[in-house]
Amino acid sequence: MAPDDRIRYRWLVGHQLAFVMWRLLRQTLEDARCVPDADMLDRAARLYDIYTLLLLYTGSCSAERYAATVRADMAAWHPALSGEWHRDHIRLPQLVRKVRTGQTTQLSAPLTKAVKLNHAVHMGVAEKLVPDGQSLLQRAGKQAGEDPTDHERDLIDAYFQVRRRPVCWEGFVAQAVRRLARVLCDIAHHGLHDGTSPPHLPPRFRQTGEALSAAGTDRLEELAHFLIRPHSRPILGRTPLGEAMSSTGNGSKTVTITPRIQRYLVAHTTPPTETQQSLIDRTAALGTAAEMRIPHEQATFLTLVARLTEARDILEVGTFTGYSTLALALGTRSGGRVTTCDISREWADVAQRAWEEAGVADRVDLRLGPASDTLRALPNGPSFDLAFIDADKPSYRDYWDELVPRMRPGGLLMADNVLYTGEAADPHATGNAQAIRSFNAHVQADTRVENVMLPIADGLTLARKCEA
């Protein structure tokens, strides 16, 4: 990812996570008003510290690069763009004051300290990025805390790619953890401050700010761990991080894949080749669309599966920039072929360049057009050894029903995103999550296959077609 693209990426994803923190803080502070004990106030303080870390992460670039990228983008989008317009944040200072009212100084000390550090860092980041001291909000003649219009709310939501709507807790957690994982990976590669100097803080905050920065990764991982605990509530608890493994009571074991464990798994997977890394970088430069690329550990798994099954004829539904196609092609037998279907030519040039660089272009047959039409046009008899579905979720079931009859006995079908960031497990799922949930039930009831769902990436189903 180019430096300017990373600046924009940090600004966008960092703010999305900040909005998550505002919701968590609001809920925790409201709970603290009802149960004003030391544990509750400590939870609020820890959440404020994580919000402070996100301020450091989001504003980690230099003033010059900020002015040329993010500030220019925001000014073009709306002349008074400001996170102050978000309603959750407007309530936080009010809630803090109410929580601290009537509490002893000693009991509220951790929260007071965290709030003051947050303010100092916020001002430090603002001074670093905007040396003239005037925000876009002020330039437009507005004041922080003014109620925004509905139109202004819609504008800021569109800029930060968020939507205000009621969602179930599981869906909220899935989105939060997904972004936490991205931030943690980014910090692991480029550091919290991304090679720039941290913001200047008043002397009394410097030591605390440096300690928080040093503990940043652990704090973010802690948040992810607590969010994904079964029956978690929207507040931090005190459960030790060591409880990542739990027993179900019937002799089986489950491991919660925290960001730290995920990095450990990736570190012990065959790394990408030079061509694969180049394709990863070119895909990342596309911005948010890059989410459609499968992660490298999943690509490695696809290559291994293709080799282990000695697949010769492979069918893929959903090409994007060709990373999964490349992985499958690398695993085919001599003379093998990957037929890959996609509806759009938008990213085909990126894909074909990568296939040529890897020396597998002669093994790939790209077919553009609606995948359902492409599949129906294929011979009806069983001819494929391996199939991979990773396209529009509402059509998964249709693709499945077209593919199963075309698989050789013993052939393997794979379907991606079968957990859909965890939302597929929600009985009240809607939209794509509901489509995936319906597809999963369809596969489970299909007597033509034997199947297993694996927690790889966003969930991967493997189904072997039964012998005739």
Instruction: State mean pLDDT over 307-321.
Output: 95
CA-to-CA separations, 47 to 11, 34, 190, 387, in angstroms, rounded: 19, 18, 24, 44
Rounded CA separation 458/95 (Å): 37
Helices (H), 143-292: 150-159, 169-190, 203-214, 216-228, 259-267, 274-284
User: Whole-number mean pLDDT of the chain?
Assistant: 83
Instruction: State mean pLDDT over 4-28.
Output: 87
**Which residue did the predictor score with more confidence, 236 or 263?**
263
At 452 the pLDDT is: 97
Lowest mean pLDDT among 22-26, 375-379, 413-417: 22-26
At 247 the pLDDT is: 39
Banded model confidence at residue 314, pLDDT cuts 50, 70, 90: very high
Q: For residue 122, is pLDDT > 60?
A: yes
Look up residue 461 and give its amino acid: T
Banded model confidence at residue 462, pLDDT cuts 50, 70, 90: very high
Question: Residue 199: how many CB atoms within 10 A of its CB?
Answer: 21
Rounded CA separation 395/209 (Å): 50
Angle at 367 between CA 365 and CA 372, to 5 degrees: 130
**Which residue did the predictor score with more confidence, 29 or 366?**
366
Q: For residue 49, is pLDDT > 60?
A: yes
Banded model confidence at residue 241, pLDDT cuts 50, 70, 90: very low
At 136 the pLDDT is: 57
Instruction: State mean pLDDT over 95-110.
Output: 79
Between the ranges 152-161, 180-189, 216-225, where is the mean pLDDT highest? 180-189
Contact 261, 244 (CB under 8 A): yes
Q: For residue 243, is pLDDT > 60?
A: no
For the chain, give the percent of residues with pLDDT over 90. Answer: 37
Look up residue 317 and give its amino acid: V
Q: For residue 307, is pLDDT > 90?
A: yes
Q: What's the pLDDT tens digit per position in 198-212? A: 888 988 888 888 888
At 385 the pLDDT is: 96
Tokens 């597809």, residue located: 439
DSSP single-letter state for residue 148: P
Which three-class secondary structure state does DSSP give residue 396? helix
At 273 the pLDDT is: 93
At 195 the pLDDT is: 86
Contact 375, 401 (CB under 8 A): no
Banded model confidence at residue 365, pLDDT cuts 50, 70, 90: very high
Q: For residue 83, is pLDDT > 90?
A: no
Rounded CA separation 114/219 (Å): 14
Instruction: Give the burial class of 272: count Cβ atoms within 10 A of its Cβ; 0-12 exposed, 13-18 middle, 19 or more buried.
Output: middle
At 233 the pLDDT is: 46
Lowest mean pLDDT among 117-121, 249-253, 367-371, 410-414: 249-253
At 237 the pLDDT is: 36
Banded model confidence at residue 222, pLDDT cuts 50, 70, 90: confident
Q: What's the pLDDT tens digit per position in 135-169? A: 555 555 555 555 666 666 677 777 777 766 666 77
pTM of the shown model = 0.54
**Which residue did the predictor score with more confidence, 123 or 411?**
411
Rounded CA separation 75/139 (Å): 10
At 253 the pLDDT is: 57
At 239 the pLDDT is: 31
Q: What's the pLDDT tens digit per position in 384-408? A: 999 999 999 999 999 999 999 999 9
Lowest mean pLDDT among 214-218, 270-274, 319-323: 214-218
Q: What's the pLDDT tens digit per position in 260-305? A: 677 788 889 999 999 999 999 998 888 777 888 999 999 999 999 9
